[in-house]
Amino acid sequence: MACEWGKRSILTLRRIARGQATLEFAFAAPLFLLGLFAAVDSALWSVQTNAEVAAVQSAARVAASAGSTPLGRAAPDVRTVTAGVEAHLGQALFATRLVAWCDPTPGAPCVPPVSNAGVCSGPACRFLACPSTPQDVQAVFGPRVVAVCVHEQDAQPCASGADAASASDPYCTDSPTITVRAVGFLASLVPPGFGAGEVGGELPTSVSATTHTLRFAP
């Protein structure tokens, strides 16, 4: 009888120990996975962001010297600039699509024509300026897309035909400024509901590089 009781209590103890181990595992496993995913995800994010920084820097240099003529003041074509950086940036962006910030309608020009009065109408007018937030890119191209955008800002011409800067007009002889931005959402292991992206599985990114364009004196 005593032997029977002893056996039973050993079995009960083993069952309790097994239950405790399961409970500990149930606590520790999600934590371990959380830590692991956070580490892997931050490493992926870092690799992708570093690639973006290098790409926009190189794109800014390409865009700064990509005028059709040395004296030209035409803005560089965003599709050309994007194609220039796509080869190496595309490899570093895991499961993320890289696009030019252009009207995606087939056959449409990158940016819509603007009238002489500077008036633009229609939804494609959003492509005249760089997207201000990653959500703007997501609204057009969907999730896990990074858009490359090139923005050229020209200096105001000098007042009344003067060809030199003056105290009242110190910037009129400046060469245009080029800004290249990579903005959108990068694919990541962030689960939905963690607030980083619109639909989960993504992290916002916005990297830019600015420089003056290279212009030769006429």
Partner 1 sequence: MRRRARSGDSAQAVLETALLIPIMLLLACNFIALMVQASVQEQLDSATALAAQSRFQAPTNSLDAAGAECCPDPRCCQSRSDATSLRTGGLPVGCRYAAESFYGTMRNAAFLEWHKGPLCLSGGDSGAGSEPARAAQPYPNSPLGSEVSCVVASRGGDGTLHHGFLDRTLNPPFGLEVVVCDASARLDFSRTPLAWGVFWAPMLHAHAEALPPPFRQ
The contact set with partner 1 (CB under 8 A) reads: 9, 13, 16-17, 20, 23-24, 27-28, 31-32, 34-35, 38-39, 42-43, 45-46, 49-50, 53-54, 56-57, 60-61, 64, 165-171, 173-175, 177, 179, 206-215, 217
Are 204 and 196 in contact by the 8 Å Cβ rule? The answer is yes
Helix, strand, coil % in the chain, rounded to nearest 5 = 45, 15, 40
Question: Among residues 38 and 114, whose Cβ is nearest to partner 1?
Answer: 38
Are 52 and 205 in contact by the 8 Å Cβ rule? The answer is yes
Instruction: Provide the token pair at 24.
Output: 């500990």
Query: What's the closest the beta carbon of residue 99 comes to partner 1, in angstroms?
Result: 21
Query: What's the closest the beta carbon of residue 57 comes to partner 1, in angstroms?
Result: 4
Question: Among residues 43 and 83, whose Cβ is nearest to partner 1?
Answer: 43
Question: Among residues 61 and 126, whose Cβ is nearest to partner 1?
Answer: 61
Query: What's the closest the beta carbon of residue 115 comes to partner 1, in angstroms?
Result: 26
Query: What's the closest the beta carbon of residue 215 comes to partner 1, in angstroms?
Result: 7
d(CA 25, CA 33): 12
Phi and psi at residue 187, to the nearest 5°: -65, 140
* Amino acid code (one letter) for 153: Q
Going by DSSP bridges, is the β-strand pair 177-187/145-153 parallel, antiparallel, or unpaired? Answer: antiparallel
